Structure 1
């Protein structure tokens, strides 16, 4: 039989982008399930709106991202991996997080294995070391490097996020896929991917960019005085807010 899934990742507290993507996914009645690869929160300021939208649905499976983990560490009285301005940002996110979402956020695993149409999938936010910690971002990924990282992993398809650019690598061993960050883009687009698994085991991958209105989202950084807002608006959104000022 055939099967179709959607892959989303790195929503980063951007409810306008998430709403646009979920609306687009819901138009495709063939999609049976959504896999969300972490970083639900952090960077964006719409924490509770995003978590309500995600956790209220029954058709999404999750893994935990580094921003999710950093905020949880702060709530648990632990030191997060973040430092300086990023740490202050995570503290601000933690302060505004509605308590009702914490148990669900805390329960998210760091990886999930699923069998879909006889294919073994691994869903993870990013590559994990032997201590179950996220590796640093490899800014020059190659097929050879990815095959080396996952050489002992039983997976036909490895789906991950974290690095906010599209990855689409295929070796004789497996397919590697990163649809790019849904919530952080230098243009008013929200990316995600659809995977269609055919009867013979083939996989058709479609990368989609959904346009959405990001004006209010960007201007609210100043209204809320979000910590690290200058860095975020420049590095994650390409200073798109300047056209609205």
Structure 2
């Protein structure tokens, strides 16, 4: 069985559609797992959510941006650790079709499955078990560690899955330990070049084979939309999360 793994779309509709088109063209992908942060940063909130929720072959979990925006929409406490992003999150919340609230709030934080005898955990980023049900305002997600097998093995100590798929930290992570493979395909929507990364996992009874992929797409109109839509902190966002690609 082959599955697609995507994460951190971050409101980037053309990147998402480019990846889904590639997965659809293959005709051998049985399911797609989206590992949170569908919204935030990029302005295409409604288009991204509409695209994902319209599919029957996509399972989603929530990330910190999804939950922080949702907290504002529900009149709940916004995380103090995200105070620097509160104005931006409020802008996303104000623009979001409120019909998505009920769909987002029922998404899980984790998905655990056994496929072809292999145990797999899908999670946005590490959360201590005691914090799995904590509200986003309580900062349940662990601090980011530098990519590396030793760091991830230590971070996910106590998790015994054969494969742990996650996102949150935007660079690619792919590390094979003695018992566990750690996979973060990289942020689909935030890249310093006009490409969108994703992964394919071929799950067999005796092995897991991970393929790291990316697709090129035209991101010109997407980047220009930050200015056209007057996205808060747009210069900072384009510089930090998109490699300042609009710079002459």
Question: Which band: TM-score by shorter chain?
Answer: over 0.9
- How many Å apart are 1:145 and its aligned residue? 2.6
Measure, in 1, the Cα distance between the counterparts of 2:223 and 2:64: 23
- How many Å apart are 1:201 and its aligned residue? 2.0
What residue is the counterpart of 1:70 in the other structure?
68
Question: TM-score, normalized by length of structure 1?
Answer: 0.94
Matched, 1:187 2:193: yes
The equivalent position to 1:196 in structure 2, one of 194, 202, 220, is: 202
- How many Å apart are 1:230 and its aligned residue? 1.0
Question: TM-score, normalized by length of structure 2?
Answer: 0.93
Contact 1:147 1:173 in 2 (8 A): no
C-alpha offsets along residues 83-112 of structure 1, whole Å, 9 cap, x if unaligned? 13x110000000011011111111111111
Contact 2:160 2:180 in 1 (8 A): no
- How many Å apart are 1:131 and its aligned residue? 1.5
The equivalent position to 2:28 in structure 1, one of 22, 27, 30, is: 30
SS at the partner of 1:176? Answer: strand
The equivalent position to 1:159 in structure 2, one of 161, 165, 176, is: 165
- Equivalent residue runs for 1:203-242 within 5 Å: 203-242=208-247
Divergent runs of 4+, >3 A: none
- Number of residues of Structure 1 aligned to a counterpart in Structure 2: 238
Matched, 1:46 2:52: no
Contact 2:37 2:64 in 1 (8 A): yes
Stretch moving more, 118-127 or 143-152: 143-152
Contact 2:12 2:42 in 1 (8 A): yes
SS at the partner of 1:141? Answer: coil
Matched, 1:168 2:166: no
Instruction: Give structure 1 stretches of 5+ with no counterpart.
Output: none
Measure, in 2, the Cα distance between the counterparts of 1:65 and 1:216: 26
Measure, in 2, the Cα distance between the counterparts of 1:212 and 1:80: 34
Contact 1:17 1:212 in 2 (8 A): yes
- How many Å apart are 1:76 and its aligned residue? 1.5
The equivalent position to 2:144 in structure 1, one of 112, 128, 137, is: 137
- How many Å apart are 1:144 and its aligned residue? 2.2
Measure, in 2, the Cα distance between the counterparts of 1:104 and 1:126: 21
Instruction: Give structure 2 stretches of 5+ with no counterpart.
Output: 133-139
SS at the partner of 1:114? Answer: strand
